[in-house]
């Protein structure tokens, strides 16, 4: 039922966007975007090594970049945010979460079009060469014959735990090698690979906590430890000290935001899909609560890109209401 409603809402937004953009000029704004994995082709997706999420191929990612460049958007990096964004421009921010090695597939596209992207890294996954827990769960439950819908609901239930608690459950349930990567599709960067990747002038690194910690499940002392540990690890591995954080699963509250500020982070991104209005000043509190749109490869990329440009959208409200119903919380 919910997938059908979701599909209807997305179709309605697409229709609204066509009409809106035909009649009105879109408002200047910052449009941030969230990706996770990239795939070479459908064959890699069908291996079921990682949770599908957006199912985005390299070709679709290139199409996404081309679309916004053709429509007058300037792609920016974290330094641009810290300088502030004037009200007379249209800006796009590409972000990737987690630290998958397959993110290297984005680098040729970034270099081809000379656009930057911000990659948020969960550092203990890199240091320990371990799979992300949601991929392990999806892989193993798929092998057991569970449906995608069933796996999704079970995954949501696990998100109320700390990462160490989830991983302990996976090992007990699926065996001691459950967190061992199966290949380049599901593994994180190695420290050396991450250092080489970050050498590109179009690659910027951000903090995604040490353990991809859903921070609202942790004490405030644990939150500080997760964020500080990731800061130090990234500095030691790459020489880069991030200025931006992506809150895992979008989970944050005023206390978490303040801790991130105290640690030295100046930009924070969530998973709530909305534009950021301009001007955006370096001193603005909005810098630590920037929303992101999440394109997916299951729907036409151009249709989605056009829809995100519209200043009238239903999906964000639908998503917030659904998550409140499902999890008992407001979408972050």
pLDDT, tens digit, 9 for 90 and up, residues 89-99: 999 999 999 99
Exposed e or buried b per residue across 170-195, where buried means at least 16 C-beta atoms within 10 angstroms of its C-beta = beeebeeebbebeeebbbbbebeebe
- What is the band of 17 on the pLDDT scale with cuts at 50, 70, 90? confident
pLDDT of 9: 80
Predicted structure pTM score: 0.94
C-alpha to C-alpha distance for 71 and 44, rounded to whole angstroms? 31
pLDDT of 8: 77
Task: Give the percent of the chain with pLDDT over 70.
Answer: 94
Cβ contacts of 17 within 8 Å, gap of 6 or more: 306, 307, 308, 309, 310, 312, 313
Residue 7, pLDDT > 90, answer no
pLDDT of 312: 86
Residue 14, pLDDT > 90, answer no
Q: What average pLDDT does this structure show over 305-323?
A: 76
As given in the structure block, the two tokens for residue 135 are: 């991929």
Q: Which CATH superfamily is domain 27-130+181-309 in?
A: Glycoside hydrolase/deacetylase (3.20.20.370)
pLDDT, tens digit, 9 for 90 and up, residues 83-123: 999 999 999 999 999 999 999 999 999 999 999 999 999 99
Residue 216, pLDDT > 70, answer yes
pLDDT of 244: 98
Of 117, 96, 97, 105, whose CA–CA distance to 58 is shortest?
105
pLDDT of 246: 98
pLDDT of 89: 96
C-alpha to C-alpha distance for 40 and 298, rounded to whole angstroms? 15
Residue 323, pLDDT > 60, answer no
Residue 75, pLDDT > 90, answer yes
Lowest mean pLDDT among 9-23, 130-144, 231-245: 9-23
pLDDT, tens digit, 9 for 90 and up, residues 286-312: 899 999 999 998 889 999 999 999 998
Residue 131, pLDDT > 60, answer yes
Task: Give the percent of the chain with pLDDT over 90.
Answer: 82
Of 26, 107, 99, 12, whose CA–CA distance to 68 is shortest?
26
Across the chain, mean pLDDT equals 93
């Amino acid at each position: 039922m919910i997938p059908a409603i979701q599909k209807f809402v997305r179709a309605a937004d697409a229709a609204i966007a066509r009409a809106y953009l035909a009649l009105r000029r879109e408002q200047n704004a910052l449009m941030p975007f969230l990706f996770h994995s990239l795939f070479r082709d459908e064959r890699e997706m069908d291996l079921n090594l990682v949770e599908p999420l957006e199912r985005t191929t390299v070709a679709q990612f290139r199409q996404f970049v081309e679309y916004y460049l053709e429509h007058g958007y300037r792609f920016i990096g974290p330094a641009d945010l810290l300088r502030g964004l004037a009200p007379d421009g249209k800006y796009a921010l590409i972000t990737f979460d987690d630290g998958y090695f397959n993110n290297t597939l984005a680098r040729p596209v970034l270099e081809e079009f000379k656009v930057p992207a911000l990659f948020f890294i969960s550092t203990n996954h890199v240091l320990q060469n371990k799979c992300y827990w949601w991929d392990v769960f999806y892989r193993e439950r798929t092998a057991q014959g569970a449906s995608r819908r069933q796996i999704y609901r079970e995954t949501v239930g696990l998100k109320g735990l700390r990462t160490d608690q989830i991983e302990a459950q996976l090992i007990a349930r699926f065996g001691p090698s459950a967190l061992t990567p199966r290949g380049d599709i599901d593994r994180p960067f190695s420290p050396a690979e991450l250092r080489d990747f970050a050498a590109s002038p179009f690659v910027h690194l951000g903090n995604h906590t040490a353990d991809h910690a859903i921070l609202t499940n942790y004490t405030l002392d644990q939150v500080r430890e997760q964020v500080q540990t990731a800061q130090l690890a990234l500095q030691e591995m790459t020489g880069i000290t991030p200025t931006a954080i992506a809150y895992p699963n979008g989970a944050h509250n005023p206390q978490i935001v303040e801790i991130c500020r105290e640690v030295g982070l100046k930009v924070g991104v969530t998973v709530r899909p909305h534009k950021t209005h301009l001007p955006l000043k370096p001193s603005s509190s909005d810098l630590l609560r920037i929303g992101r749109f999440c394109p997916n490869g299951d729907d036409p990329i151009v249709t989605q890109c056009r829809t995100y440009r519209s200043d009238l959208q239903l999906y964000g409200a639908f998503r917030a209401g659904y998550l409140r119903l499902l999890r008992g919380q407001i979408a972050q």
